[in-house]
Structure 1
């Protein structure tokens, strides 16, 4: 969400030297795997992405059937249903992250995480389409 706010500020002419846009690009690059863990926090993106998000439908063993929390969260191994494109909570302040559906803080798929992520991507793509995305922003190469 901070990355999106930075883009809104940049679009409004605040800090015109590009620092806010660079900040947004760096945040998206971090999310997509340019971080100390070489870990993408977007399910299905890259070679090293979350396989056990804290998400009932994704971890429910049977597709299109209701299941109880004990059925969905008691599962061992990767979730049977991949939630492609969803952003998980991510690492703590020390860059520690464990792919475990039992850790809802780091692995929950929530609207607040995903809304800011999608809004920032949309803003960067808009800037690229209008030819105003700084050359220093390489995030869109893999998106």
Structure 2
């Protein structure tokens, strides 16, 4: 359990990407906590100052790429393309400060809109600007951003229409954390529905949710504690160490992934079926907060209606 792990922990390195992530999150936090301004006792101002300082550092150090030291064996999460992080940080700072310079930086770094992942966050800038920037963005530019979003959503509808399972998942989507790919697609579709009120987008998003909750080639509901057949042995240290047979409920397992980097005993090799409910399987049965996040968003979006 975490409280029993007494090993030293280290913070290693400083990168452009992580600095921009920091700037984006703290700029957003300044807005999120605005209703609680009195209770925050100046924290919001501190966060915004830190976000702007981080932005300045990133502009001055635009290509600081993180590389794992030779004596560290944990995942490197290598990334050497930072336009998407610059665009996201600029968008968040623009919405928070209303400083047009940040929007001009967004336009400079604006990247192709695609399904978001841990390494490619361009869509997060699109989302923020669409839902919080309409009143302060030039109408022509706003229309361009909206068109990019709907083009992506329409592409996902096309994948859904081509799928025998009626879910917009293609072979290349079955990567590490494939369920987060599915759920991020549902997020995009729910946002397209909100922008247009077109029910098609909502229906496709619901089909993705059905897929994650059990209507898939494995028959597993990939959310622990939900459904008649859900993961019992996720690659999750707390669930494995707490002395309780069932895992902590409400966690999204990574999902089918044909890479099989963990060397576990898989029964199938087809991308959509390569999943095993075993602690051994960190390639398909791992738990990660950024996989759970879009599930929370999509469920909240549906319940809000």
Normalised to the residue count of structure 1, the TM-score between the two structures is: 0.69
Quote the residue 2:146 is aligned against.
Answer: none
Question: Do residues 83 (structure 1) and 261 (structure 2) align?
Answer: no
Quick check: 2:217–2:272 contact (8 Å CA) kept in 1?
no
Quote the residue 1:31 is aligned against.
Answer: 212
Quote the residue 2:111 is aligned against.
Answer: none
Quote the residue 2:225 is aligned against.
Answer: 44
2:232 match: secondary structure: coil
CA radius of gyration, larger in: 2
Distance 1:31 1:94 in 2: 12
Cα displacement (A) at 1:108: 1.1
Quote the residue 1:126 is aligned against.
Answer: 304
Report the structure, 1 or 2, having the larger helix content: 2
Quote the residue 1:21 is aligned against.
Answer: 202
Cα displacement (A) at 1:53: 0.6
Quick check: 2:212–2:222 contact (8 Å CA) kept in 1?
yes
- 1:5-24 deviations in Å (ceiling 9; x for gaps): 110111011xx442211121
Distance 2:224 2:297 in 1: 17
Quick check: 1:57–1:81 contact (8 Å CA) kept in 2?
no
Q: What pairs up with 1:43-62 in 2 under 5 angstroms?
A: 43-60=224-241, 62=243
Quote the residue 1:6 is aligned against.
Answer: 189
Q: What pairs up with 1:66-105 in 2 under 5 angstroms?
A: 80-92=245-257, 93-105=271-283
Aligned length: 109
Cα displacement (A) at 1:42: 0.6
2:249 match: secondary structure: coil
Cα displacement (A) at 1:51: 0.5
Question: Do residues 106 (structure 1) and 284 (structure 2) align?
Answer: yes
Quote the residue 2:133 is aligned against.
Answer: none
Cα displacement (A) at 1:61: 5.2
Cα displacement (A) at 1:29: 0.4
Quick check: 1:60–1:80 contact (8 Å CA) kept in 2?
no
Distance 1:18 1:37 in 2: 28
Distance 1:100 1:124 in 2: 31
User: Which structure 1 segments of 5+ residues have no match?
Assistant: 63-78, 128-143
Q: Which has the higher contact order (CA 8 A, sep 6+)?
A: 1
RMSD, matched Cα: 1.7
- 1:18-45 deviations in Å (ceiling 9; x for gaps): 2211121011101111112221101111
2:279 match: secondary structure: coil
Distance 1:118 1:28 in 2: 11
Distance 1:99 1:25 in 2: 24
Which runs of structure 1 show a deviation greater than 3 angstroms over 4 or more consecutive aligned residues?
A: none
